[in-house]
Amino acid sequence: MKIFQNLILSSIIIISLLMQTAVSADPGTLSLKQKQMLKATSPLFKAIYQNQSGQEMIKLNGVSPDNGRTWKPVKPGPDFDKDLPYGYRRSHYGLWRDPVNGNIVSLFNCMDTPDKDPKAHEPRWQWHWYYLRYRVSTDGGRSYLYDKPIVQKGKEYSPEYPVDGVHISQNCFFLGDLGCDPIRTREGTILVPMQMPPLADDGQSLHNPGGGWYWLQTRILIGRWTESNDIEWESSEPIEGDGQRTVRGLYEPTLAQMPDGNLICIMRGSNGGKSDPSNKLPSRKWISISRDGGHKWSKPEPWTYSDGELFFSPSSMSELITHSNGRTYWIGNISEKNCQANHPRWPLVIGEVDPKTYGIIRDNLVVIDTKQPDEEDVNLSHWHSIEDRQTGHIVITTSRASKGYKSRTPVIYTIGVEGARPQE
């Protein structure tokens, strides 16, 4: 009798294990592990890992020895900004570590505008004066070798004419929201996705075929390391929107290199404005593809699910993430119905990009957060993400902003990635 009972118990255990195996998630499957409301912005916001391995982290003014649990202030030297005249702006975009040589690049949106308020939020003069500066560290961000404007290589280029199509004081170039992080390609180049308001044919006024509040096009800066740890820069051909399909152009680009070596660029478009007051244009994210390392790009088209079906998305930032498991994930807003320019910026979702079609895999799409029944509105945007080396999960730090961004509640999300392995 006891042997029979043991056989039954063993059978139950085996069946249970088989059932668990049958329903277990596939590698790379996403899930929301945790949503934690905070009293203050997470110290992980804009933090990166300091070295090629280990748990040390760094951000602009702080370092952590223990994967972001504790922090102490740090002030990298030299202080390049201490003698800047009034009106000169150095807005830190963020840090990026080259995954091969370990150098850290610090990027800044800058304006040299004497007598202009350096703290003015999105002033009208920005369209004529923004440009990019970069600093390079070879010691994990403790010190920087230099502070330079990004200027395309070639005798014809200068700080006043830094890249093709840009003449500072007439138009500009700058980084958009936090999804515009650089990437390193498998060919060894650094790609920095930037945006710029192009000049009209008269060479003086700004081109605006969409009739929106402004018009921006995307270009990709292509960098190559020199032996002296400087970067030589080139610029891609522009990725230009169709003014009949997006009223503000294509901007806030985010990049990823796919397994086949091709590059994809996902961009924000917009409907609304004076030329589309009833928001009749479909609200889309847009995709362009490069097959030559980022120099030339395909005609941009609305981005779709992997089965080819279109989806709605507001005019908002998004971000492509290349995970250590080799998969590419996308964070952004997807809406059930056509949006009205920037709204609604909920729900916030994360999904996997199909390596063959470059569309979003619908079956691996997870809602991170959305508007709650007691909320008039919520804005889920302006985040920073990082892959946690201890778990392989994706950590997203941001704020839940109320209608009109009148108040913000900091929050941190942890996205589980099935089968992810800790990195040593």
Q: Are the beta carbons of 105 and 92 closer than 8 angstroms?
A: no
The pLDDT of residue 397 is 99
Q: Are the beta carbons of 158 and 174 closer than 8 angstroms?
A: no
Tokens 């958009």 belong to residue:
176
The mean pLDDT of 232-259, rounded to a whole number, is: 99
Is the pLDDT assigned to residue 7 strictly greater than 70? no
| Residues 181, 420: Cα–Cα separation, whole Å | 23
Token pair, residue 221, equals 């800066």
Over pLDDT 70: what percentage of the chain?
A: 94
The pLDDT of residue 27 is 81
Residue type, 264: I
Is the pLDDT assigned to residue 12 strictly greater than 70? no
Cα 358 to Cα 100, 236, 330, 366: the distances in Å are: 26, 21, 11, 18
User: Which of 344, 321, 355, 392 has the alpha carbon at shortest distance from 179?
Assistant: 321
Q: Residue 397: which H helix or E strand, with range? A: strand 394-401
Q: Are the beta carbons of 135 and 141 closer than 8 angstroms?
A: no
Question: Which of the pair, 420 or 272, is modelled with greater confidence?
Answer: 272
pLDDT bracket for residue 391 (50, 70, 90): very high
Is the pLDDT assigned to residue 171 strictly greater than 70? yes
Neighbour count for residue 79 (Cβ, 10 Å):
9
Q: Residue 43: which H helix or E strand, with range? A: none
The pLDDT of residue 421 is 83
pLDDT bracket for residue 424 (50, 70, 90): low
Q: Where are the domains of the chain?
A: 32-417
Cα 159 to Cα 112, 168, 169: the distances in Å are: 11, 8, 11
| Residues 106, 96: Cα–Cα separation, whole Å | 7
| Residues 388, 382: Cα–Cα separation, whole Å | 19
The mean pLDDT of 145-162, rounded to a whole number, is: 98
| Residues 66, 213: Cα–Cα separation, whole Å | 45
What top-level class would CATH report for the domain 32-417? mainly beta
Which residues have CB under 8 Å from 169's CB, separation 6+? 128, 129, 160
The pLDDT of residue 24 is 52
Per-residue pLDDT tens for 352-374? 999 999 999 999 999 999 999 99
In Å, how far from its chain's centre is CA 223? 18
Is the pLDDT assigned to residue 315 strictly greater than 90? yes
| Residues 104, 96: Cα–Cα separation, whole Å | 6
| DSSP-derived 3-state class of residue 403 | helix
Residue type, 164: D
- Is 278 buried (19+), middle (13-18) or exposed (0-12) by CB count in 10 A? exposed
Neighbour count for residue 192 (Cβ, 10 Å):
27
The pLDDT of residue 2 is 46
Backbone CA torsion sign across 212, 214, 215, 220 = negative
The pTM score is 0.93
